[in-house]
Structure 1
Amino acid sequence: MLIRSAAAVVPMMMAQVAMAQPVPPLPPPRPIETPSPATPPAPRPQAPPAPTADAPSAVPSAEDCLAVLKAVGFEIEPAEPPQVSNELCRIETPVRLKAVPVPTKPETVVRLANQPVLACRFAGPFGHWIGDLVAPLVAGIKGSELKAVQTGPGFECRNRNRSTTGKLSAHAQGLAIDIAGFDLANGTTLRIKPEANTAPDPALAALRTAACGWFTTILGPGSDEAHHDHLHVDIEQHGSSDRYRICQ
């Protein structure tokens, strides 16, 4: 009888034991990854944004400015640049503003009785302020719809506060307007000039405070003698920041 050596028997036994052990399960296969596109899809074109006080350059040309404002319901038309003797008085894209829409009242407009001539980039924020804020605020407080706004001419080639010397006014660029009063549908007029021995009207106080979020300068009765009877608003930049406000 042939007797195998221990050196030969041990490897054979280890191989048998290994074959008897259960095979561990394999991990599930990874899902097939969807390859990402080589280039993202092009964004869909959007209409130019309406001009604002914080973005006075949002409308690059007369055609685009008028198109944007007309598309949202402004009654506005191009205006001839006024003839002036001072060449520093320059208005960019002059327009004549006739009426602005009231978004909360479809097919309703507020008339600009004096049809002021303004730079188009200022006509936008000014008109939106009237239609979006002043009209619903006045209607809510006074109980009557806003019908028209009494203003000055808008563009005027003159210095600040009509001084004979000093810096040019924002009016000299068509970036400012003076407001004398608001005509209501019930026949009354909400005048900016305060009446003697009468408390400030809450509607005027509210819209004057809110104007600080729309314009860079707000001056009215109480700020100085030059503005004792009207409300001046403009979007002229003060210093290096368009965030600085003069609210008086």
Structure 2
Amino acid sequence: MPSTRPVPEQAPAPAAPPRSDETADESRRATPPVPTDELACRARLRALGVDFSDHAPIDEAPGCIVAHPLTIKSFGKNIDLAPEAVLNCATAEATARFLADVVAPAAKSVFDDDLLAISHGSAFVCRPRNGTTKLSEHAFGNAIDIGGFKLAGGRTINVTAATDSREADFLSRVRMAACGPFKTVLGPGTDADHAQHFHFDLAKRRNGGTYCR
């Protein structure tokens, strides 16, 4: 008589590994090469003492794109940042230079103290400008909103309509000097949306102009 024992099922053959060219294509899509100018910018950040790491490329609807973003952890060996900020490299460099060349000397001049840290309200955020449908410079990692400056001696200068004369002097110096290194400078007195922070960005303007209010 023929056997009635069931024949065991064979395990499916393992899937063939992807071809090397397919693997390379997937790798290129996941981690696009960093252009030479971006590598040079990163080198300058390291020279400034900025603590940063690469962030995954950002591409969010409805057009919020940062091709080579960075996560900034501090703006120098002696200038902490809270919380960490996601920015493009150009804005990170402009901010680091501004803090070292303008804000730290202003703190020393006005308060005879060292700049220890800054706090920010937003860096990359995928959103439109307030009251419009046009995307904000934040949507491109091209802007930072600074809410306060902390000094080594413990004083914190919040960005607001200051009543203390020295704080008002310090904030005025910072704001005036920002117009040039940054292409947009907004703050207390501009409108209600900027009553408690400085907005600095690198928006591209006709003939390299600035918009400072």
Q: TM-score, normalised by structure 2?
A: 0.77
User: Is 1:81–2:57 an aligned residue pair?
Assistant: yes
Matched, 1:63 2:39: yes
Which of 99, 106, 112 is equivalent to 1:143? 112
Residue 212 of structure 1 corresponds to 179
Partners of 1:237 and 1:109 lie apart in 2 by 30
Q: Report the CA distance between 1:214 and its aligned residue.
A: 0.7
SS state of the match for residue 92, structure 2? helix
Identity %: 35
Rg larger in structure: 1
AA paired with 1:77?
S
More strand by share: 2
1:12-161 to 2 correspondence within 5 Å? 60-82=36-58, 84=60, 86-101=61-76, 108-161=77-130
Distance 1:140 1:198, change over 3 A: closer
2:207 matched residue in structure 1: 241
Q: Which runs of 4+ in 1 moved over 6 A?
A: none
- How many residues align structurally? 178
The unaligned stretches of length 5 or more in structure 1 are 1-58, 102-107
Q: Equivalents in 2 of 1:65, 1:214: separation in Å?
A: 16
State the distance in 2 between where 1:67 and 1:137 align: 27
Aligned residue identity for 1:245 = T
Residue 71 of structure 1: CA displacement? 2.6
- For residue 81 of structure 2, what is the amino acid of its counterpart? L
Contact 2:58 2:64 in 1 (8 A): no
